Amino acid sequence: MKLLKSKKGLSTVVTTLIILVVSVLLASVVTFYAINVTTTRVQEESLFLTKPHIWYSSTNETQTGEAAIMIINTGGRDVVIDKITVRGQECEWTNVFYNITKGSITGDLEFQDTLTDGGTISIGGSSYEFIQGTSGTDLTLRSGYTMIIYIDDPDSISLNDIGLTVGITVFTSNAQYYKEANVEATA
């Protein structure tokens, strides 16, 4: 009987509350630490596709298609472009001509009569030198850089496609980026 009237111990309710508050605080600290680690140390891949064009030319006794697109790496890490497709058909790297530059490009992409390795194209008043892709070699785009891509004669573009909407898809190891454009006739 004397043990029950002792005033030296904590009640069960107070002890339970203390244990509950400590465990909630500990869980909150661990959660905030995990969120902080994952948001500050993980850099995301993010590409912005802009200025897509697909042309079809039936002049000078040749009938050929051409596609162009600008890719800006807005993410926090470098990206490897595995393949590019036009209307679901993979483009051979030897048909791809590209330029990588730091910063933004304001001018629009125009149809080019000839695409050559080391050739220059004027865009928005500036000249850019283009490199021809090689088979089996993927393209690397550093964070903060812009890539201009011209594709010579994509497989699936023909005269009957003028005026239709066609998709350009850029594949990386982590994602697919898709942009549509209407097929335009060249003058």
Tally the domains of the chain.
2
User: Is 80's pLDDT higher than 60?
Assistant: yes
Model confidence over 29-75: pLDDT tens digits? 999 888 877 666 556 889 999 999 999 987 766 678 899 999 999 98
User: Is 187's pLDDT higher than 60?
Assistant: yes
Q: In which band, very low, low, confident or very high, does the pLDDT at 105 lie, cut at 50, 70 and 90?
A: confident
| CA atoms of 55 and 111, how far apart (whole Å) | 7
Q: Same structural domain for residues 60 and 146?
A: yes
Query: CATH number, domain at 99?
Result: 2.60.40
| 72 domain residue, yes or no | yes
Q: Same structural domain for residues 60 and 131?
A: yes
| CA atoms of 139 and 130, how far apart (whole Å) | 13
CA atoms within 13 Å, Cβ hemisphere of 166? 29
Q: Same structural domain for residues 77 and 30?
A: no
The pLDDT of residue 3: 55
User: Is 161's pLDDT higher than 90?
Assistant: no
User: What's the whole-number mean pLDDT along residues 127-149?
Assistant: 91
User: What's the whole-number mean pLDDT along residues 138-157?
Assistant: 91
Who has greater pLDDT, 1 or 113?
113
